[in-house]
Amino acid sequence: MPARPDRAPGVLESATPQDGSAFLTWLRAPRPAAEPGVWRFGHRPKPQEVAQPVPARQLLSGAVIAFLVGWLLWSLLWNGYLGGWWLLPLYAAIPDSWAEPHSVASVVVVYAYYAIIALAIMTAVGRLGRWGEVWRRYGTPAWRRAAPPPPPRHAPEEDPARWPHLRAAGAEAAADRLTAEAGAGLMRDVDHARISRAWHSVQAGRHAMGAFTESVLRDGAAACLHPSGNRDLPSRAARHDLVTAQVRLGTSADDQRNPYAYRGTGLALGPDLLGTSLLAVGPAGSGKTGRVVWPLAESLCLQALAGRAAVVVVGAAGSGLGPADDYDVIVRVGNPDSAYDIDLYGGATDPDEAAAVLAEALAGDLTQPHPGADSRRSTTVLAQLLGPFRAVHGRFPSVPELRELLDGAPAPLAALRRALEDEGQLGMVRELDARARQSGTSTDPGTVLADRVALLDRPAFSGFFDTSGQSRPFSLRSLDHPVRVRIDLPERGHADASRILARLVLAQFSMSVAARVDRSLFACLVVDDATGTITPESVRGIQRLRSAHAGVVLTLRTLDDVPRPLRGPLLGAAGCRMALSGVTPWDGQDFAEVWGKEWTETRDITDRQIVADEPLAKATHFVRKVITGKAPTAQSVTVRKVERERWSASELAHAVPPGHAVLSLTTVRGEHAPPLLVDLTG
């Protein structure tokens, strides 16, 4: 019987160590600087690019033939078949006094000359036969490369397990406690990342050093816990490295279209890349959710437990976005058992701000789809109703109340007017008068807004979007804390309502992260299937996220779900773009245009028939044609540089294998990686 495993399946060894050796090995592993997207854990930079290696059979046969040629040449010289001309330099250099036969001096000089000639012949044929390449490929250097390098040894003052930055700042006692916890196997990778994050906050002046030291001395590796009290996720589905904040998605294919430095290396993403936002496009079943969204959501949840990030994951209920234990807040819209509600107004207190966000959710997709369009008219209509209602009731209207106001029901509007007049709110009365004048006109967007609000005023959503304070609404204003949130949308039976809510969350996210005072936390919104959420305002919001230390991850089945005028701006706003296997040629054309062209070297080979003029040559060509059945031809090779697309639309549609994707990367510092063919299953 095989031995029983010592840990649960799916849990990394560094996450649940039995002793400190595994954790210390993980912590001390080299993580050299590398190109954007390279998995840095244990990465070895590739040597300088060399020419295409000679095939082994050709290399060995050439070396043997060169040796035989050298041997033959030496035999001909030694046996005198080529004459004695090669001995003339020897006779010219030997004095007459050394010419006595069998003298020691003459014997030494003669055999030394023979050795020089033999060495010259060996050097010449060795270069022709590539003996040096044979030695490097099959000799001792190859054995040395095959042997794994020894683990790096850190000086005591540089050993990360001894927390040198704490010791340098005078926190010797805290460093000793953490070192002992790591050696005893009581520390995990999340603990190390969380305490390191807390120490950076101390250095930045956001927390007191005394409180940090006291917490470490009291709790050890459990110091500075996440508010949930969790120190890790119940299980992990991907490989994570919390020192570099990376999650490994796959392996860069060993393909000629990939740059040499990326071939065969691990491909990973982190906040430095997600800060420019990621757009993934691929048909159903191509791996968007299981191989891209889930690993990224899991990584961001680990970062949140370490106090580094805040994440909001939006998707259809049951779409496989991770277990419920991975999240602090789960909003199940339309499920009566949901413990949390969603704040329809995003925690805003200003009527104009709340109206802008709600107008984007309700009618953002109806705005003219070009970058300069906006939804100001819908915002004005909502502001004319939200302001007076809040002035009277001290809160914003619920969904049924908002629907009645947008429909122009006489009773609610009359009651609202009387309350405003009684309180002397003449400015708000003028807002209602302006709304009354616009109501019923051909250009009034109130009717469309009322129809959209009616999609949320359904029996399935009764009890949700409450504004009376009786429920527990989640507001995206809380993204200045390391919170983990999952929002399950009722995709089945309420597809239009789900798209409205997805647009609402995206608009609230863009507004909230831009208004944060403390931007040290990385905030990320992950939207699985962003169909119907891309609007002119959302594209502008995505462009502003990089400066707010935030990003979004959007997935689409096809770019046809985005209005044609917005496809270019959307691909330009996303710094990381992924085309999975199975995209259509039309989608591939959009990716090919945004990835641009590059200069490549092409070889054109032309076959031309040889025309002989001499009788002997004609006879030879005739015999050759009879034997081979083909006319004698000669090849002409033309080498030139041309500008071609990095990935053409046809290649993206037909040359990307299943389970693969083509991914381009951009970091928040502006570093670029060209489109890479990535194996998402590796």
Q: Is residue 466 part of a domain?
A: no
The answer on 86 and 75 residing in a single domain is yes
Q: What is the pLDDT of residue 16?
A: 43
pLDDT at 156 over 80: no
- pLDDT band (50, 70, 90) for residue 9: very low
- In angstroms, the CA 579 to CA 455 distance is 33
Q: What is the pLDDT of residue 4?
A: 43
pLDDT digits (tens, 9 = 90+) for 167-217: 998 889 999 999 999 999 899 999 999 999 999 999 988 889 999 999 999
Cα–Cα distance list, 134 to 46, 72, 147, 203 (Å): 21, 21, 19, 56
The answer on 653 and 534 residing in a single domain is yes
Q: What is the pLDDT of residue 179?
A: 92
The answer on 667 and 551 residing in a single domain is yes
User: Which residues, 6 or more positions from 621, have their beta carbon under 8 angstroms from its beta carbon?
Assistant: 610, 612, 631, 632
Q: Kindly report the number of other CB atoms within 10 A of residue 452's CB atom.
A: 23
Dihedral (C-alpha) 40, 44, 45, 49: value to the nearest 10 degrees? -140
pLDDT at 133 over 90: no
Q: Is residue 14 part of a domain?
A: no
The answer on 382 and 520 residing in a single domain is no
If you average pLDDT over residues 663-679, what whole number do you get? 95
| Residue 200 DSSP symbol | H
pLDDT digits (tens, 9 = 90+) for 297-343: 999 999 999 999 999 999 998 888 889 999 999 999 988 888 899 98
- In angstroms, the CA 464 to CA 456 distance is 9
Q: What is the pLDDT of residue 531?
A: 92
Question: Which of 56-65, 620-629, 634-643 is predicted least confidently?
Answer: 620-629
Cα–Cα distance list, 426 to 368, 414, 432, 435 (Å): 35, 15, 10, 14
Q: Is residue 395 part of a domain?
A: yes
pLDDT at 150 over 70: no
Q: Is residue 3 part of a domain?
A: no
Q: What is the pLDDT of residue 227?
A: 92
State which of 34-43, 70-79, 641-650 shows the largest mean pLDDT.
34-43
CATH number at residue 310: 3.40.50.300
Cβ–Cβ < 8 Å for 467, 413: no
Cβ–Cβ < 8 Å for 191, 221: yes
Q: Which of 381, 504, 510 is nearest to 441 (CA)?
A: 381
Phi, psi of 618 (to 5 degrees): -65, -40
Reported as type and span, the H/E element at residue 112 is helix 104-128
Q: Which domain holds residue 624?
A: 600-644
| Residue 296 DSSP symbol | H
Q: Which of 527, 35, 581 is nearest to 260 (CA)?
A: 35
∠ CA 463-467-472, rounded to 5°: 65
Q: What is the pLDDT of residue 12?
A: 42
β-strand pairing of 484-489 with 309-316: parallel
β-strand pairing of 278-281 with 473-474: unpaired
Q: Which of 447, 228, 464 is nearest to 336 (CA)?
A: 464
Helices H, strands E: what count in the chain?
25, 16
- pLDDT band (50, 70, 90) for residue 100: low
The answer on 264 and 302 residing in a single domain is yes
pLDDT digits (tens, 9 = 90+) for 347-370: 888 999 999 999 999 988 887 665
The answer on 123 and 163 residing in a single domain is no
The answer on 329 and 269 residing in a single domain is yes
Q: Which of 680, 356, 333 is nearest to 515 (CA)?
A: 356
Q: What is the pLDDT of residue 335?
A: 87
| Placement of tokens 């954790």 in the chain | 23
Helical ranges in 331-445 per DSSP H: 351-363, 376-393, 399-407, 410-423, 426-438
- pLDDT band (50, 70, 90) for residue 499: very high
Q: Which of 150, 114, 196 is nearest to 30 (CA)?
A: 150
For 596-671, where are the E strands, in sequence order?
597-609, 633-645, 660-666
Q: What is the pLDDT of residue 279?
A: 97
Number of domains comprising the chain? 5
Amino acid found at 133: E
Q: What is the pLDDT of residue 157?
A: 58
If you average pLDDT over residues 605-629, what whole number do you get? 76
The answer on 178 and 34 residing in a single domain is yes
Q: What is the pLDDT of residue 17?
A: 42
Structure tokens given for 151 = 């683990």
Q: What is the pLDDT of residue 374?
A: 58
The answer on 677 and 571 residing in a single domain is yes
Q: Is residue 482 part of a domain?
A: no
| Placement of tokens 């002989």 in the chain | 612
| Placement of tokens 């990621």 in the chain | 278
Q: Is residue 484 part of a domain?
A: no
Q: Is residue 150 part of a domain?
A: no
The answer on 633 and 522 residing in a single domain is no
Q: Is residue 5 part of a domain?
A: no
- In the chain, pLDDT over 90 holds for what percent of residues? 49
Q: Kindly report the number of other CB atoms within 10 A of residue 272's CB atom.
A: 20
Average pLDDT in the chain: 86
- pLDDT band (50, 70, 90) for residue 625: confident
The answer on 410 and 393 residing in a single domain is yes
Looking at 170, 199, 222, the residue that finishes a domain is 222
Q: What is the pLDDT of residue 96?
A: 67
Q: What is the DSSP string of 332-354?
A: ETT-TT-S-EE-TTTT--SHHHH
pLDDT at 631 over 60: yes
pLDDT digits (tens, 9 = 90+) for 49-75: 666 677 788 888 888 888 888 898 888
- In angstroms, the CA 184 to CA 173 distance is 17
The answer on 374 and 321 residing in a single domain is no
pLDDT digits (tens, 9 = 90+) for 547-585: 999 999 999 999 999 999 999 999 999 999 999 999 999
**3-class state of residue 664 by DSSP:** strand
